Chain A
């Protein structure tokens, strides 16, 4: 045994243990580098690079072949070849020339260097001289001499230099001259093959086949762990946004989006057919691309789509599945889980438009976001803002009718049955159902519900004010009534027999008022007559306008509408009043305020009617009926629902999912709430007062999806406030006008901002039914019989005229059967509309007349000629005063007598230049061809000057007022508020 140094441990063993420990550590180190290196986005980028390579190869091949088959190119090639050959023969002294150039170049360089050095000295001497004079330092005279001596030397050198340059340039020019043709050809070749060159260049960086062997090795090495810090082919891509922030609760930080690390083809139109994550964005015109309104470098991705933009793996980015199926797929494929620590998960694709509302909440509808628009319109229609505070809908009128005079309109029985189940009377009514819902359809609740309805009806009728009904004309013609309903324009806002078609924004406009089915069951013909004659008398706040009906017209319509009644509805019985339940109920309400003995004593003193009225009031308060209806005794009552202004960003833990098994996501919760508003009471023990009360609007799946989209969009704007459209006065005018337009349902008749005119379908029906047109023909001429298109109205008409017209509509198109109704606007509403039209067309407000329309006699005559049938024949279509044109009314055009008061002179000029440009699809012919404007007009008038012709014609038209003598001067000043 060799003697070992004494130690407690066996050193050999220690070496072994140390070696093993070190090896384990080394392996762990390997694991560390592996773990860091292995990222899912790298795989995506590699896949994408593969696709990109193949695509580029294909592109390059086709470009290359195209080039080969391009005659221009091939001839160019042969020409170049020829030119090269010629070069050697034509420029035989090329070699000499080049030698000479080298020689001259050297000479030039030498002189240049000398000149440069001398110049440097001159500059320094100049400084010396200047400071000597300026600061009175040193010897000015001496520095002056040095400076000028040097300057002379420098100038001489400059001369030499210029001479040398000329010599050199001569030779260079000579050489250039020689090669000029070749150079030119080469340039042409380069221009022709730019695309191919670029593709080839790209291929050289991504396609191993195009690389040299050593580059291929470098290409592999660059992506190796650790070395990949320098110049990897796969790297994280991101945008950092200055103006859009991520919400960090206490502060806002610039948004960082890295989505494009995996979604690599998102802005490349070539990937439209690919699967995610490479698929192209469906709307590159509006998003991502440089020229779009939302370039990715300024807006990123998550500002619209939400999600965690900084993430670079599937789960850390907070992807959200759009369906159960996708969810399962993701769970399997990506081990997808909900990220509970990120409050803004990605919007499911079907709700993606919610993102638009963040920035565009002021001016709605938002172009392109149809689902969101639909959701908003449903919210407006259903009157959600009555119970739920929504900032956008502050000050909106109540959604339902006035109930303060209900006794004159309908009966207690009908009211009972209506409240009990409104959808039974009208299947698509917007009055929601409060009873027989999932939390009150058990026997006990039904028993109580019956008495609750009795109490509420009793309260309403007890507090109903008097409404005097006078006599209705005795002779009434329902047939005429029907005809009037279909022609006057009622159907812009009302439907009679709604069909089961999917809800669209158009169909919602036609449901602006209630559908008119079964009015006979609901009310009397006398009431209808008075309502039609003057809706404001019954309900001062009503949105129903007056159509200026004569007594006979109103009576006929009342007769027609009142004849329709719902027999089976009428037959259903109203259950009797149950005193015990009423007692219990009243006691419950009393007991809430007072101790049981007092409550009992009070109850004992009350009559049955008093009990009903008392509980009725409490119930109306509980269900929030007053949120949609004017009810006596509820002035100024507060809304009962949750505020929704920022509901979309409410944190998920604030939502009570109860015992309902749905996805834990906001959109699922919203959907469930809309589908069955009371379902979150499921399996919960609650008293009648504590139950959820949100009524059921029986929305279809599509409708719910739209509303959910809108709700998800209701978020605070603090992350985007630097990017939002400025709230300039003009924008505010548009915003206010758009609100009015929706409240008054202008788009029910008119086309404005590229949409609306919902009435046209019913006009087609009318043309077919009463004017005996074929349906196809009716469709083509319907615009002639429909209310006018208001595109460019702000540019077209004078605000003063518009003010007068809206106030007292006078017919401009006498051939139309639809009537512009008389609304009773407030001053602010009227002004709002005027400003809306002017702001929409970027016009000045108030309008000032700057055009002098006086004509000389010669001009007047020329105008008259142009107007006459010899030339344009304007009166063939246009009405002049009370002179109707010939032909069928579908070709008629507005009355010229109104021109002066109505139209802006500048507009007339533009209009005549190119009508189709201002109003696409107009009937007005184009007299001055915009493509050949200078030769388009007649040559024999006004020296053939088209601009003059148009001006004179305009001035002539302006003189065609009905009473030239009495027509006022053009000094209309628009109204001020």
Chain B
């Protein structure tokens, strides 16, 4: 049993967990036809059947119930402000299954030429009173009852009075911003805290204009909008929810990683051997002192950035995203690709950190400019 927990603790580390999830992600949610066929071959789509749903339920619930037997797990999961996140986790898994279950169904129907389920339903019109208003009322009462029970059984947290001189360890932002705080591990605050939120907002607003696929409007489908759903789920599940879960449940004192069954030991020491790209290039590879001139010092970093944001879009437009480029045109494509590259920069930076201990690609602390 202890060994199993140890293994889970080990696996839960972002390096492994994230890598593993990323590895299987595009097979489960294939963005391209090729991956889609592999997905079918592997039978991964069976997850979105009733049996798959039960499997998901048993696995997640089973893990959770098993976890509750562990003191450390219980402690973190039942912390008052973390309870909604546990609920969110289950809800998301369930709803993900629900919509993909319907999507699979619809995809089948469409393949058979029947049109989606919703289209059939929509042929018939019903009256708002009582059909809609009444179920709305029922939903309200159920949710009210739920929140009341929640309120009765779980007191709202209230810690000691505010003390600006003693900071709790760890100091965490509200849970819905923990994704951003988790990004702080890999990025400077101006990127994680300002640039990314802005990009997320702009990016979300831009979705209707980038996704110009006319299909899949008003019904659940996967096959008709593989790329869109895959990218969206990648952002929403892996880069947002996963980071929030990590930040909430797996980050302890000094923002050190702690497995779900691990005791939050304030003295835990993690190896911190991060270096900047410039240091890597000059000191480690070339055995030289860092140049005094900032631009010479950081030229490799700037070059990398230039390639990433300048050259890569062009290459992609000619290769992987040729179809996308053709359908979007140059302007929309550049918006799309910049947004996408920014999003992908996060996992890239994560891997650079884990693999090469890279702290910053461009590090100019003189101007608070670290990338």
Contact = CB atoms under 8 A, between A and B. Distances in A.
Interface of A: 102, 105-106, 109-110, 113, 116-117, 120-121, 123-124, 126-127, 131, 135, 137-138
Contact of A127 (B2, B267, B275): B267
B289 A113 contact: no
A124 B279 contact: no
Contacts of A135: 263
A116 B273 contact: yes
A120 B268 contact: no
Nearest to B279: A113
A878 B81 CA distance: 88
Leading 4 A-B pairs by shortest Cβ distance: A106-B289, A117-B273, A127-B269, A123-B269
Contacts of A106: 283, 287-289
A121 B273 contact: yes
Contacts of B270: 124
B289 A126 contact: no
Contacts of B6: 137-138
A127 B262 CA distance: 14
Contact of A113 (B267, B269, B271, B275): B275
A120 B271 contact: yes
A116 B357 CA distance: 14
B71 interface: no
Contacts of A138: 6
B272 A131 contact: no
Contact of B283 (A110, A121, A124, A131): A110
Interface string B273-290: 101000100011001110
B33 interface: no
B289 A124 contact: no
B269 A126 contact: yes
B363 to A, nearest CB: 14
Most chain B C-beta atoms within 10 Å of own C-beta, residue among A105, A120, A135: A120
Contacts of B275: 113
B265 interface: yes
Given A109-B283, A113-B279, A138-B6, A121 B271 contact: yes
Given A110-B287, A117-B271, A123-B269, 9 more contacts: A106-B283, A106-B289, A113-B283, A120-B271, A121-B273, A124-B270, A127-B267, A127-B268, A135-B263
Nearest to A110: B283
A117 B271 CA distance: 8
B273 A120 contact: yes
A102 B290 CA distance: 11
A135 B265 CA distance: 11
A116 to B, nearest CB: 7
30 contacts: A102-B289, A105-B289, A106-B287, A106-B288, A106-B289, A109-B283, A109-B289, A110-B283, A110-B284, A113-B275, A113-B279, A113-B283, A116-B273, A117-B271, A117-B273, A120-B269, A120-B272, A121-B271, A121-B273, A123-B269, A123-B271, A124-B269, A124-B270, A124-B271, A126-B269, A127-B267, A127-B268, A127-B269, A131-B265, A135-B263
Nearest to B283: A110
Interface in B99-117: none
A113 B283 CA distance: 9
A505 B15 CA distance: 88
A753 to B, nearest CB: 45
Interface of B: 2, 6, 263, 265, 267-273, 275, 279, 283-284, 287-289
A843 to B, nearest CB: 43
Contacts of B271: 117, 120-121, 123-124
A77 to B, nearest CB: 31
A122 to B, nearest CB: 9
Contacts of A102: 289
A137 to B, nearest CB: 8
Nearest to B272: A120
Most chain A C-beta atoms within 10 Å of own C-beta, residue among B6, B267, B270, B273: B273
A123 B288 CA distance: 28
A870 B270 CA distance: 86
Contacts of B269: 120, 123-124, 126-127
B81 to A, nearest CB: 28
Contacts of B287: 106, 110
A256 B267 CA distance: 46
A128 to B, nearest CB: 9
Contacts of A113: 275, 279, 283
A260 B74 CA distance: 59
Contacts of A121: 271, 273
Contacts of A131: 265
Nearest to A128: B269
Contacts of A127: 267-269
A923 to B, nearest CB: 61
Contacts of A110: 283-284, 287
Nearest to B288: A106
B82 to A, nearest CB: 24
A109 to B, nearest CB: 7
A106 B291 CA distance: 11
Contacts of B272: 120
A304 B172 CA distance: 47
A126 to B, nearest CB: 7
A201 B287 CA distance: 42
A127 B269 CA distance: 6
A880 to B, nearest CB: 69
Contacts of B267: 127
Most chain B C-beta atoms within 10 Å of own C-beta, residue among A116, A117, A126: A117
B260 to A, nearest CB: 15
Contacts of A124: 269-271
Contacts of A137: 2, 6
A733 B201 CA distance: 74
B69 to A, nearest CB: 17
A570 to B, nearest CB: 82
A105 B263 CA distance: 42
A164 to B, nearest CB: 14
Nearest to B282: A106
Contacts of A116: 273
Contacts of B283: 106, 109-110, 113
Nearest to B263: A135
A876 B267 CA distance: 82
A446 B6 CA distance: 112
A480 B255 CA distance: 100
A106 B279 CA distance: 11
A679 B225 CA distance: 100
Nearest to B273: A117
Contacts of B265: 131
Nearest to B275: A113
Nearest to B357: A117
A434 B2 CA distance: 103
Nearest to A127: B269
A788 B273 CA distance: 82
A273 B283 CA distance: 65
A117 B288 CA distance: 18
Contacts of B273: 116-117, 120-121
Nearest to A130: B267
A121 B271 CA distance: 5
A116 B268 CA distance: 18
A127 to B, nearest CB: 4
Contacts of A120: 269, 271-273
A135 B279 CA distance: 39
B9 to A, nearest CB: 10
A675 B6 CA distance: 95
Contacts of B284: 110
Contacts of A117: 271, 273
A102 B265 CA distance: 42
B367 to A, nearest CB: 19
Contacts of B268: 127
A126 B269 CA distance: 8
Most chain A C-beta atoms within 10 Å of own C-beta, residue among B270, B287, B288, B289: B289
Contacts of B2: 137
A106 B282 CA distance: 10
